[in-house]
Structure 1
Amino acid sequence: MPLATPEGHNLGTLCVIDRVPRTLTNTQSDALRVLARHVVTQLMLRRQLEWSKVIEAELRASEAKFRNTVDRLAEGVFVVDPLARKIIDANLAVLAILGYTKSEFVGRSPEDIMAQEIPEVTTRNFSRIDSELATTGRRNLGRKCLRGKDGSLISVDVRITLIPNDGVGLQAFVIRDLTEQCAYEDRLFLYQTELENANAKLKQLANTDGLTGVRNRSAFNAKLLEEYDRANRYNHPLSVILMDVDHFKIFNDTFGHPAGDEVLKAVGRTLQETARSTDFVARYGGEEFAVLLPDTELSGAMVLAERFRRAIASVSWDKRAVTVSVGVSTSTKQTPEASKLVQEADEALYRSKKNGRNRVNHSNLSSLSIRNTIA
């Protein structure tokens, strides 16, 4: 079996060798094909790990840049977790202003250093963020007094800046001249945005197929477990569609891998355009695609599967007609686990190929009932 990457590059061949000539059965050929897919999957995971290391290095560099910038600010900055009512971080300037070491300062309650009450951040309602802060991300509290480590009162201007931090909603207290601070706050938000963007890139890399732009197998497996648990909890139906581009190897051999890549991109695009907003389209591996259908019973799944098949067959293909064979499965009370749905859909897909390709089969229906269901 050839070991081909999702982009169509052949890396080698997986072979079965014996001392005497043998002929593989269909089951043995399928097993060898599955083993080849596993080998390629491991190779792709290794490549994805290298990409992840690059993104992680970018994250670390951005974090170091952010920390260096905050520590060099003339203004004092300390970060508060409003739910825990604790100071979780501080820069060098605020430590110098108040006379604390970092170990002495971090972990304190904000009320410990406030010589006068700030209504928005008292113990009684510290977790409340007023409308201005929630809307603009900033709030000017004006002139306030803080208490230093030695008990001295220090007059400062206080401005609160909301740090999104993936929805946690931390609060950065910036103390000193507000006119100079605005420029530094903009830089702080800029670096925070860089961190968020780097995180988004990493998440997208982990969940998106690089060639077709649809979700990858890892994302599909995670979504399948989530929807399977939800379907069991609320007694809702769940269906899975697996489809394979017919005679794709012959297409690649005849027209070349770049042409094959364009076919896979077009198939992914067509599936996305045909799917409902609640459906989950993914590239399962090689020329195989999968669609997860939440809250979809058997008859509805068959209608959608046929719609996908017809949509791909009706595309104006450049080289030659392209079709897909489709297998469908639907959860029942007897479905023991999520992976069983994929297994049953794969078995139905095999029957579609065996019976002539470019057709739909369901794991729980005969060919006659399939025709009646679609009709």
Structure 2
Amino acid sequence: MIDKGLEQIYQLFTRSKRNTENIIKTAPLGICVTDPDGHFEMVNAAYCNFYGYTEEELLGKHFTLMVSPANRDQLTTLHDEFIKGDSNQELRQEWEVHGRQGDVYTIIAEAARIEGDDGRPRKVTFIVDITERKQLEERLKKANERLDHLAHHDELTGLFNRRAGLQRLEEEQQRSKRYGNALSIAIFDLDSFKAINDTYGHGIGDDALREVTELVGQTLRSTDIQVRLGGEEFLIIMPEVETQAAKRAMQRVCEAIASARFTSQQIRVTVSTGVACYAETTHRCILDRADDAMYKAKEAGGNGVVIA
């Protein structure tokens, strides 16, 4: 609909230059005419209303008054190139502009070149407010990003969820096989976590899980990948790490957790950990081996690391 209105206005310009001023003043679209140097020669009521200025306040001012200082040089260059060029119609462009009160809007700007009474070119710019549309697009984008995040991450801890984590494990196994790099994993489980929930409630239990996983992330390398498998059980994928190095890393994790206190209740938490190294098996096999080792650590009293 907007395109049709612009096309009709272009046709009117072509048919009769004498009607140009009347067309501009009465058009429902915001329209301005700038001289070869970029100063306002004419602005219609729709243009003034959109930006919050009176006609007298704009006439003679440079058209870049409406954009941020960072974009003024670029817009001035585009204006000058259009005035000096051969094309009578400028490509449609999207810009962020500022009203008199500092409000920020998004517009679509399109321009035509006409000849003034002095024989020199003028630029006629048409603006269409698309601020609401852009805001809707941004909300939809954020909603889609949120859905994508939830599809791959655990909502409580922000870690990879089981599905996404196992996919990453498979990718790391393929990389390890291709390049011959070491790959270790660790599965850890909070000891006696049910007692925490029973004693303090599930809200405190959730806080404990969040705080423990944050501490684990701070203790391990940034390249290690932490996954929530479910409940209080977690997976650590450790690319390019041999078994003994993985064991030492997880011992540091156990010590850090055991020496800390968590939640507003200052709860003491320990974890049991099983470590396994990739040796051209399926991810299910390596997980089972690490899981078995983790249960051996629990049977040994918890707060420790066992290699599969």
- TM normalised by structure 1 equals 0.51
1:234 Cα deviation from its structure 2 partner: 1.2
Structure 1 counterpart SS, 2:261: coil
Check conservation: 1:245, 1:288, Cα contact below 8 A: yes
Query: One-letter code of the match for 2:220?
Result: A
1:186 Cα deviation from its structure 2 partner: 5.3
1:258 Cα deviation from its structure 2 partner: 2.1
Check conservation: 1:157, 1:175, Cα contact below 8 A: yes
For residues 296 and 276 of structure 1, the distance between their equivalents in structure 2, rounded to whole angstroms, comes to: 11
- Residues 302-324 of structure 1: per-residue CA shift (max 9 Å, x gap): 11111111111111243542100
Give 1:244's aligned residue: 189
1:225 Cα deviation from its structure 2 partner: 1.8
Match of 2:255 among 276, 292, 310: 310
Structure 1 counterpart SS, 2:286: helix
Structure 2 counterpart SS, 1:142: helix
1:229 and 2:169 are equivalent in the alignment = no
Give 1:369's aligned residue: none
For residues 337 and 322 of structure 1, the distance between their equivalents in structure 2, rounded to whole angstroms, comes to: 32
Check conservation: 2:254, 2:270, Cα contact below 8 A: yes
- TM normalised by structure 2 equals 0.61
Match of 2:274 among 327, 340, 357: 327
- Residues 10-58 of structure 1: per-residue CA shift (max 9 Å, x gap): xxxxxxxxxxxxxxxxxxxxxxxxxxxxxxxxxxxxxxxxxxxxxxxxx
Give 1:350's aligned residue: 295
Match of 2:90 among 123, 138, 157: 157
For residues 93 and 355 of structure 1, the distance between their equivalents in structure 2, rounded to whole angstroms, comes to: 79
Match of 2:156 among 201, 211, 214: 211
Check conservation: 1:268, 1:283, Cα contact below 8 A: no
User: Would the alpha carbon gap of residues 158 and 309 (structure 1) be closer, same or farther in structure 2, given more than 3 Å must change?
Assistant: same
Check conservation: 2:275, 2:290, Cα contact below 8 A: yes
Match of 2:285 among 331, 337, 340: 340
For residues 125 and 170 of structure 2, the distance between their equivalents in structure 1, rounded to whole angstroms, comes to: 52
- Residues 99-142 of structure 1: per-residue CA shift (max 9 Å, x gap): xxxxxxxxxxxxxxxxxxxxxxxxxxxxxxxxxx9xx9xx9573
Provide structure 1 residue ranges, at least 5 long, that are not aligned to the other structure.
1-71, 77-91, 99-132, 147-154, 163-172, 364-375
1:358 Cα deviation from its structure 2 partner: 1.1
Give 2:236's aligned residue: 291
1:340 Cα deviation from its structure 2 partner: 2.0
Give 1:142's aligned residue: 82
1:159 Cα deviation from its structure 2 partner: 3.4
For residues 272 and 203 of structure 1, the distance between their equivalents in structure 2, rounded to whole angstroms, comes to: 22
1:250 Cα deviation from its structure 2 partner: 2.1
User: Would the alpha carbon gap of residues 232 and 201 (structure 1) be closer, same or farther in structure 2, given more than 3 Å must change?
Assistant: same
For residues 9 and 188 of structure 2, the distance between their equivalents in structure 1, rounded to whole angstroms, comes to: 65
Provide structure 2 residue ranges, at least 5 long, that are not aligned to the other structure.
11-70, 96-107, 113-123
For residues 97 and 206 of structure 1, the distance between their equivalents in structure 2, rounded to whole angstroms, comes to: 49
Query: One-letter code of the match for 2:288?
Result: Q
Structure 1 counterpart SS, 2:160: coil
Structure number with greater Rg is 2
1:93 Cα deviation from its structure 2 partner: 6.2
Give 2:36's aligned residue: none
Correspondences of 1:1-375 after superposition (within 5 Å): 72=1, 74=2, 76=3, 140=78, 142=82, 155-160=88-93, 175-176=110-111, 179-181=125-127, 184=129, 189-317=134-262, 318=265, 320-332=267-279, 335-363=280-308
For residues 220 and 272 of structure 2, the distance between their equivalents in structure 1, rounded to whole angstroms, comes to: 17
